[in-house]
Chains A and B, each alone.
Chain A
Amino acid sequence: GAGVSQSPRYKVTKRGQDVALRCDPISGHVSLYWYRQALGQGPEFLTYFNYEAQQDKSGLPNDRFSAERPEGSISTLTIQRTEQRDSAMYRCASSLEGQGRGPLHFGNGTRLTVT
């Protein structure tokens, strides 16, 4: 498809398990962003990449969270030893332009539930 694709759409996991969330951006887009969105809140910045380089990871809550984009296209957000407070909608977005310019195109998100 032409849009940003995220998988899985829904993920239910037990506390303590690791999860990997995948984002397939629009082809040719330079920047890729990860956000977390709680119900009734705006997207909360986690990290972003320009091509394969992770430019800013200041929004990652702690060292259980990590992200990679090894070939400058698909990205994976990994959460180790999940906790209930990690439950949220995780959104990926890509942009044709880097450096915070150009509109972000969002995927439909992965709803993570930690039980």
Chain B
Amino acid sequence: DQQVKQNSPSLSVQEGRISILNCDYTNSMFDYFLWYKKYPAEGPTFLISISSIKDKNEDGRFTVFLNKSAKHLSLHIVPSQPGDSAVYFCAASGGRDDKIIFGKGTRLHILP
């Protein structure tokens, strides 16, 4: 059973437009959420996180929104740039389990 779900395997967005990556979770005990970015042949790198006491966290072009009632979070990238083309993973932790669980990822293609 997948506790962190990224239902879109891939997404294509025009350069300069907004990219929105979605993530759903099933464990109501999760209270800390992270987004990672991965280029080919490299390990995932941390992008941005959010605690459940907030509903929004912003860092430059990246904003994460958290909707606890819907158990949904999203990552907004604006404006999208060619270097944003990568696989993005959503991850979560919390409750009695401190382990960090990852989704399957969404491949983002930024089109010129």
Contacts and interface: CB of A to CB of B under 8 A. Distances in A.
B66 interface: no
B63 to A, nearest CB: 17
A2 to B, nearest CB: 14
Interface residues of B, number: 25
A42 B46 contact: no
Interface string B77-108: 00000000000010101100111111111000
B96 to A, nearest CB: 10
Among B45, B89, B99: residue with most chain A CB under 10 A: B99
B98 A103 contact: no
Contacts of A55: 98-99
Interface residues of A, number: 29
Main secondary structure of the interface of A (DSSP, over half): loop
Contacts of B60: none
Contacts of B44: 43, 91, 104, 106
Contact of A106 (B45, B93, B98, B101): B45
A48 B99 contact: yes
B105 A42 contact: yes
Interface string A26-41: 0000010101000011
Nearest to A91: B43
Interface of A: 4, 31, 33, 35, 40-45, 48, 50, 55-56, 58-59, 91, 93, 98-101, 103-109
21 contacts: A31-B98, A42-B6, A42-B104, A43-B102, A44-B102, A45-B100, A48-B98, A56-B99, A91-B44, A93-B43, A100-B93, A100-B97, A100-B99, A101-B32, A103-B34, A103-B46, A104-B34, A104-B91, A106-B45, A108-B41, A108-B42
Please provide the 8 A-B residue pairs with the shortest distance between their CB atoms, ordered closest to farther: A100-B93, A106-B43, A103-B46, A100-B98, A42-B102, A42-B104, A99-B98, A43-B102
